Amino acid sequence: MNTARAVRHALVALACCAAPAVALAATATPRALAETMAMLRHAISVPTVKGNHQVPALAAYFADKLRQGGFAANDIQIIPVGETAALVARYRGTGHGKPIYLSGHMDVVAARRADWTRDPFTLVQENGYLYGRGTADMKTAAVVLVETLIRLKREGFKPSRDIVLLLSGDEETDMATTRELARRYHDAEFLLNADAGGGTLDPASGKPVVYQIQAAEKTYADFRITLTSPGGHSSEPTADNAIYRLAKVIDRVAGYAFPPMINDITRASLHATGAHTPGALGAAMTRFAADPDDTAAAATISADPAYVGQIRTTCVATMLDGGHALNALPQSASVNVNCRIFPGTSVASVRDTLTKVIDDPSASITVLPPPPVESPASPLRPDVIAAVSAAVHARFPGVEIAPGMSAGASDSMYFRNAGVPSYGVDAAFTKPDDTYAHGLNEKLPASEVGAGLEFWHRVLMQLAK
Q: For 147-175, how does the pLDDT look when each residue is reduced to its tens digit (9 = 90+)? A: 999 999 999 999 999 999 999 999 999 99
Pairing of strands 129-131, 124-126: antiparallel
- b/e string for 17-54 if b means 16 or more Cβ within 10 A? ebeebbeeeeebbeebbebbbebbbbbbebbbbbeeeb
Taking 90 as the threshold, does the pLDDT of residue 16 lie above it? no
Taking 50 as the threshold, does the pLDDT of residue 405 lie above it? yes
Minimal CA–CA distance to 220: which of 118, 355, 313? Answer: 313
**How does pLDDT run across 442-456, given as a tens digit for each residue?**
999 999 999 999 999
**Alpha-carbon distance 301 to 295, whole Å?**
10
Q: Are 336 and 222 in contact (CB under 8 A)?
A: yes
Minimal CA–CA distance to 170: which of 87, 249, 250, 240? Answer: 87
Q: Are 83 and 51 in contact (CB under 8 A)?
A: yes
Taking 80 as the threshold, does the pLDDT of residue 20 lie above it? no
pTM for the model stands at 0.85
Task: Compute CA distances 235 → 218, 228, 232, 325, 327, whole Å.
Answer: 47, 19, 9, 13, 8
**pLDDT at residue 276, rounded to an integer:** 85
**Average pLDDT for 289-300:** 98
Taking 70 as the threshold, does the pLDDT of residue 247 lie above it? yes
**Average pLDDT for 216-238:** 96
**How does pLDDT run across 230-244, given as a tens digit for each residue?**
999 999 999 999 999
Higher pLDDT, 143 or 374: 143
Three-state DSSP state, 342: coil
Strand partners of residue 126: 129
Taking 60 as the threshold, does the pLDDT of residue 29 lie above it? yes
**Alpha-carbon distance 375 to 175, whole Å?**
15
Counting residues of the chain whose pLDDT is more than 90, the rounded percentage is 88
CB atoms within 10 A of CB 157: 19
**Average pLDDT for 6-18:** 44
pLDDT tier at 27, thresholds 50, 70, 90: low
**pLDDT at residue 26, rounded to an integer:** 41
**pLDDT at residue 390, rounded to an integer:** 98
**How does pLDDT run across 107-142, given as a tens digit for each residue?**
999 999 999 999 999 999 999 999 999 999 999 999
**pLDDT at residue 375, rounded to an integer:** 87
Counting residues of the chain whose pLDDT is more than 70, the rounded percentage is 94
Q: What is the CA radius of gyration of the chain?
A: 23
Q: How far apart are the first and last CA of the chain?
A: 28
Pairing of strands 400-406, 208-217: parallel
> Which of the residue ranges 14-18, 363-367, 382-386 would you say has the lowest mean pLDDT?
14-18
Burial class (CB in 10 A: 0-12, 13-18, 19+), 280: middle
Three-state DSSP state, 318: strand
* Helix segments in 258-364, DSSP class H: 264-275, 279-290, 295-302, 347-358
Higher pLDDT, 281 or 7: 281
pLDDT tier at 409, thresholds 50, 70, 90: confident
**How does pLDDT run across 70-87, given as a tens digit for each residue?**
999 999 999 999 999 999
CB atoms within 10 A of CB 60: 13
Sign of the alpha-carbon torsion through 148, 154, 159, 161:
positive
Minimal CA–CA distance to 214: which of 224, 199, 225? Answer: 199
Taking 50 as the threshold, does the pLDDT of residue 328 lie above it? yes
Taking 70 as the threshold, does the pLDDT of residue 145 lie above it? yes
**pLDDT at residue 15, rounded to an integer:** 44
Taking 80 as the threshold, does the pLDDT of residue 22 lie above it? no
Q: How many residues does the chain have?
A: 465
Run of H or E including 146: helix 139-154
Give one DSSP letter per residue of 305-356, joined into a string.
TTTGGGTS-EEEEEEEEE-S-TTEE-SEEEEEEEEEEPTT--HHHHHHHHHH
**Alpha-carbon distance 162 to 156, whole Å?**
14
Higher pLDDT, 370 or 32: 32
**How does pLDDT run across 32-76, given as a tens digit for each residue?**
999 999 999 999 999 999 999 999 999 999 999 999 999 999 999
**pLDDT at residue 171, rounded to an integer:** 97
Phi/psi region, residue 78 (left: phi>0; alpha: psi -120 to 50; beta: rest), is beta
pLDDT tier at 274, thresholds 50, 70, 90: very high
**pLDDT at residue 11, rounded to an integer:** 52
Phi/psi region, residue 115 (left: phi>0; alpha: psi -120 to 50; beta: rest), is alpha
**Alpha-carbon distance 312 to 91, whole Å?**
40
**∠ Cα 403 167 461 (to 5°):** 60
**pLDDT at residue 306, rounded to an integer:** 87
Taking 70 as the threshold, does the pLDDT of residue 4 lie above it? no
Three-state DSSP state, 333: strand
**How does pLDDT run across 414-433, given as a tens digit for each residue?**
999 999 999 999 999 999 88
Taking 80 as the threshold, does the pLDDT of residue 393 lie above it? yes
Q: What is the mean pLDDT of the chain?
A: 93
The residue type found at 422 is: S
